[in-house]
Amino acid sequence: MSSPYAKSCYNTLMPIPAQPLDTSVCFRCGECCKRYQVLLDAAEANRLSEHLGISLADFRTRYADPRWPGSDKLLLRQSSGACPFLHNSNKEFLCTVHKLKPGPCREWAADLSKPECKRGLKSQWELTVDNTGCLQGASGDIRAFLEYHARLSGEGD
């Protein structure tokens, strides 16, 4: 069974982490929210429309992808290549409806073995994970990522 932790793999120039890197921490690259369109059920669409202070009909007009057949479910359309509820805050991608996010988003778990998380690690941090689980890249980038990651780990969800 694979470990949820990445190996340390640091040379003597790198700080020794207090504990192994937990690869299940989302580092907010936004790749998954850019790559996939989310399917909502009627209850989720209702909750979001109420939260936004608009009618369900307005919600459909603004956020539903008309290509989705039927009306019992609703497919969120993309806006500028991402979920319309994804907010870029100085390159940190945040869900603006985090407390109400739909089932598929709640079920999605960050994992550095996933292609989406790997892609975000590369695009946001210029880092990769090798096949032994070690972070690869410039030592300054690894250091910055570890500091950011430690801060997120301390914040919880």
Q: Which residues bind ligand SF4 (CB under 6 A)?
A: 26-33, 38, 83, 85-86, 95, 97, 101-102, 105, 110, 116-117, 120
Report the residue number, 83 or 129, with the smaller CB distance to ligand SF4: 83
Nearer to ligand SF4, 16 or 91 (CB): 91
Q: Beta strands 21-22 and 5-6: pairing type?
A: antiparallel
* Min CB(37)–ligand SF4 separation in Å: 8
Q: Nearest distance from residue 137's CB to ligand SF4, in Å?
A: 16
Q: Shortest approach of ligand SF4 to residue 49 CB, angstroms?
A: 14
Instruction: For residue 33, give the nearest of 81, 75, 108, 83 by alpha carbon.
Output: 83
Which CB sits closer to ligand SF4, 64 or 117? Answer: 117
Q: How far is CA 46 from CA 41, 92, 97, in A?
A: 9, 28, 13
What is Dmax (Cα atoms) for the chain? 60
Structure-token pair, residue 84? 């319309």
Q: Closest separation between CB of residue 1 and ligand SF4, Å?
A: 21
Query: Between 101 and 142, whose beta carbon lies closer to ligand SF4?
Result: 101
